[in-house]
Amino acid sequence: MCYAMLALALDLIWGYCGILSLGHAAFFSLGGYAMGMYLMRQIGSRGVYGDPVLPDFMVFLNWKALPWFWYGFNHFLFALVMMVVVPGLLALLFGWLAFRSRVTGVYFSIITQAMTYALMIAFFRNDTGFGGNNGFTDFKDILGFDLRSDSTRVGLLVVTAIALAASYIACRAIVNSRAGRVLRAIRDAESRTRFLGYPVESFKLWVFVFSAIIAGIAGALYVPQVGIINPGEMSPLNSIEVVIWVAVGGRGTLFGAATGAVLVNYAKTYLTSAIPDVWLYALGLLFVLVTVFLPRGVVGLIPNRSKK
């Protein structure tokens, strides 16, 4: 369901506005790191080294004091705000620079991929204060509830389901609104839309930021359930996989994007266990077959389903 939220976020900008981002793994990971920082601060004196202030990995790396950007993450409300603000601010800054320079098409895709790769390299460094290549793990509690208990896992599942439903409703409301019609006009004829007097760059910027926020929330919900976050989540390959989810499910359908995320990841889980050497070839073949024979994705097979 977290991956379905990430697929919704990408479909909103790619399927409805024509913005192909290959960097959404960065926003997903930043939301995850914000949650991970909160969870690490909850370990406290139960950590391996018994230090109530510094996370265990900082003690191991001989850090003498808590970095300034870690302050506040012992409070859930602060962490909750950062899960939204950090991905949103990055998207705002990056999008403002890119869209005001009218970077579009494949060039935009390339620079988003470069952004993700640069962040991944930075987070791999031990001196940045984010756990290096190991990242964060060994979480204990969230809001005082034991993460290993079944009741907590069920609670997180329910919260994730609610977040997915809310994300879908919000995205559907946007694409069915007048702003959504402008987004589709930008996708189909950007120059003409600009000529008609619409502030194209502003529309693209706000929908890009909103999409990044959804991706960040998805990452924040993902981390306590899988129990780890590391720079590998920022791999450009992960962003490319999200594009495949959306293409397989049905670009520009929202429901199809979420469905594609579930189907592809189910296939990944099965194939990487049964025949792991075949998975990447199967993924590439799937993308080619869908592009050639199912341009509207899996949901295009459903009769009388309109493409909004």
Residue 243 located in a structural domain:
no
pLDDT, residue 50, reads 45
Range of the domain at 71: 2-234
Residue 71 located in a structural domain:
yes
**For residues 139 and 37, is the Cβ–Cβ distance under 8 A?**
no
Which range among 25-34, 232-241, 273-282, 296-305 shows the weakest confidence by mean pLDDT?
Answer: 296-305
- Tell me the mean pLDDT in the region 9-37: 95
- Tell me the mean pLDDT in the region 269-293: 82
pLDDT, residue 48, reads 46
pLDDT tops 80 at residue 301: no
Which range among 41-55, 56-70, 131-145, 171-185 shows the weakest confidence by mean pLDDT?
Answer: 41-55
pLDDT tops 50 at residue 49: no
pLDDT, residue 308, reads 45
pLDDT tens-digit map of 170-228: 999 999 999 999 999 999 999 999 999 999 999 999 999 999 999 999 999 999 999 99
Residue 146's φ and ψ, nearest 5 degrees, are -70, 120
- Tell me the mean pLDDT in the region 83-110: 94
pTM (2 decimals)?
0.90
User: For the chain, how many structural domains are there in total?
Assistant: 1
Residue 211 located in a structural domain:
yes
Residue 74 located in a structural domain:
yes
Residue 204 located in a structural domain:
yes
Confidence of residue 306 (pLDDT cuts 50, 70, 90): very low
Residue 110 located in a structural domain:
yes
Residue 83 located in a structural domain:
yes
Residue 276 located in a structural domain:
no
pLDDT, residue 288, reads 85
